[in-house]
């Protein structure tokens, strides 16, 4: 690892250690790309992951916010998967029960197409405001529509006069470079309302580091947290951290926090919770990732080369960010992997940014008949296996 004289976006301490670099990766992974040439010509950027020895936060210090796009063309929903929908609905009910969200005011920062806040409104008879530049009006018709307001914009200082009993932010903080400033903005918006509940869900950096999951590192994700670094961020911003937990096969990290005291005091949030990694423990996980990355990378390169040499037809199942990162990090062309499969019909006929594989419907595999299917997330193995069986196919199935 090499040190750089840069302030940490989370704690402000100067001095980060770079441990992972990938050049020329697509700056967006899930924008709808309408042609193969557009996919091959997609704008590129670099990844230079650096860890803060003081707080354990990890940032892409090569990230340029001006390069990424979040618009109606941003198609990140997982809502076509029965596996994900079961999890998502159970999470909504868990939060409604845990925080007595009935007839309450709810804000969701980074609501995407509005799936989750719509569930909270319908299931708890709540009122909601969702913020996201990628929101598409009418995507989710709902009987609760008259209690929902969507603002197709990034949440920021100009919206701090919106108040709620429950502030939710799912799979968004990892896209924000200035995380300290962002959480401080939310704390200012709450003011002296101590009963406001704040709930965040983000990717779990422990999972990425300890599983050497290089396919979970892509340009839009410029910020990475463990339990410990996430809790420290919230405490510095003036929150009391009440709970930290993981879900979805430990891939997702959750935090529950309440406003408490003044911003800027590390003591404001009370004592640390069980399972919070120290900065030193995070550094050990980073070293593990570095030590094992080359072998993991080469393992996949060798397998793909062997399949190509023996004429085996290979497809990815999952036309999203993991697939883009997997293909671009391994420099894979259509000669190695012909297609990406996705159950989201909005993606069919579009192309993978950077490498140009067409995204096809599962039914198309009845014609192509792959020998190997690589599933981008092991959570979906049972679901995908059942879909392949229903199509009359029995390829070799591998998961990342």
Q: Are 268 and 261 in contact (CB under 8 A)?
A: yes
**Given this model, what pLDDT does residue 117 score?**
97
Cα-based distances in Å from 142 to 117, 118, 138: 11, 7, 9
Measure the CA–CA gap between 91 and 198, rounded to whole angstroms.
15
**Given this model, what pLDDT does residue 138 score?**
81
**Given this model, what pLDDT does residue 266 score?**
47
**Given this model, what pLDDT does residue 224 score?**
98
**Given this model, what pLDDT does residue 323 score?**
96
Measure the CA–CA gap between 297 and 77, rounded to whole angstroms.
28
| Topology at the third CATH level for domain 82-283 | Rossmann fold (3.40.50)
Strands 252-259 and 197-203: what pairing? antiparallel
Query: b/e string for 99-134 if b means 16 or more Cβ within 10 A?
Result: bebeebbbbbbbbbbbbbbbbbbbbbebbbbbbbeb
Q: What does the domain layout of the chain look like in residue ranges?
A: 2-62, 82-283, 311-399
**Given this model, what pLDDT does residue 269 score?**
54
Q: What is the DSSP string of 276-317?
A: PPPHHHHHHHHHHHHHHHHHHHHHHHHHHHHHHHTT--EEEE
> Which residue, 154, 262, 184, 196, is CA-closest to 10?
184
**Given this model, what pLDDT does residue 261 score?**
67
Instruction: Output the CA angle 72-77-81, nearest 5 degrees.
Output: 150
Which residue ranges of the chain lie beneath pLDDT 50? Answer: 264-267
Measure the CA–CA gap between 151 and 129, rounded to whole angstroms.
8
**Given this model, what pLDDT does residue 44 score?**
97
Query: Is the fold of 2-62 the same as that of 82-283?
Result: no
> Which residue, 336, 355, 328, 358, is CA-closest to 24?
328
Residues sharing a CB contact under 8 Å with residue 155, sequence separation 6 or more, in sequence order: 109, 110, 131
Measure the CA–CA gap between 150 and 45, rounded to whole angstroms.
31
Residues sharing a CB contact under 8 Å with residue 144, sequence separation 6 or more, in sequence order: 118, 121, 122, 125, 128
> Which residue, 156, 213, 347, is CA-closest to 169?
156
**Given this model, what pLDDT does residue 271 score?**
81
Measure the CA–CA gap between 199 and 188, rounded to whole angstroms.
16
Enter the CATH code of domain 2-62.
2.20.25
Q: What is the token pair recorded at 236?
A: 């510095």
| Topology at the third CATH level for domain 311-399 | Rossmann fold (3.40.50)
pLDDT tens, position by position, 243-278? 999 999 999 999 999 999 655 444 455 688 999 999
Task: Compute how many other C-beta atoms are within 10 angstroms of the C-beta atom of residue 204.
Answer: 25
Assessment of whether the complete model's pTM goes beyond 0.85: yes
pLDDT tens, position by position, 107-117? 999 999 999 99
> Which residue, 152, 204, 155, is CA-closest to 176?
155
**Given this model, what pLDDT does residue 335 score?**
78
């Amino acid at each position: 690892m090499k040190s750089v004289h840069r302030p940490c976006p989370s704690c402000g301490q100067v001095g980060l250690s770079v441990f992972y670099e990938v050049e020329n990766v697509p700056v967006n992974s899930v924008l709808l790309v309408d042609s193969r040439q557009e996919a091959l010509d997609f704008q590129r950027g670099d990844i230079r992951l650096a860890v803060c020895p003081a707080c354990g936060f990890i940032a892409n210090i090569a990230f340029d916010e001006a390069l990424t796009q979040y618009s109606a063309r941003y198609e990140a929903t997982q809502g076509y998967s029965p596996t994900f929908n079961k999890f998502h609905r159970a999470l909504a009910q868990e939060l409604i029960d845990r925080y007595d969200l009935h007839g309450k005011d709810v804000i969701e920062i980074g609501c995407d197409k509005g799936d989750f806040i719509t569930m909270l409104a319908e299931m708890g008879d709540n009122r909601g405001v969702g913020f996201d530049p990628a929101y598409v009006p009418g995507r989710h018709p709902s009987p609760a529509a008259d209690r929902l307001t969507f603002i197709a914009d990034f949440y920021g200082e100009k919206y701090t006069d919106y108040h709620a009993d429950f502030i939710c932010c799912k799979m968004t903080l990892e896209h924000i470079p200035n995380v300290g400033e962002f959480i401080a903005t939310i704390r200012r918006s709450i003011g002296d309302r101590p009963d406001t509940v704040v709930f965040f869900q983000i990717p779990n950096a422990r999972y990425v580091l300890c599983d050497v999951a290089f396919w979970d590192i892509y340009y839009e994700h410029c910020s990475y947290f463990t339990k410990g670094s996430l809790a420290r961020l919230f405490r510095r911003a003036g929150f009391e951290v009440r709970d930290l937990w993981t879900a979805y096969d430990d891939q997702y990290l959750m935090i529950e926090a309440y406003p408490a005291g003044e911003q800027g005091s590390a003591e404001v949030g009370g004592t640390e919770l069980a399972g919070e990694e120290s900065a030193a423990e995070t550094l050990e996980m980073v070293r593990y990732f570095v030590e094992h990355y080359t072998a993991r990378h080469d393992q996949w390169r060798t397998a793909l080369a062997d399949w190509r040499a023996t004429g085996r037809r290979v497809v990815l199942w999952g036309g999203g960010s993991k697939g883009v990162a997997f293909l671009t990090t391994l420099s894979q062309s259509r000669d190695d992997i012909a297609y990406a499969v996705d159950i989201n019909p909005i993606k069919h006929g579009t192309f993978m940014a950077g490498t140009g594989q067409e995204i096809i419907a599962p039914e198309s595999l009845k014609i192509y008949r792959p020998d190997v299917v690589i599933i981008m997330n092991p959570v979906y193995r049972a679901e995908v296996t059942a879909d392949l069986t229903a199509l009359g196919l029995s390829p070799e199935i591998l998961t990342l």
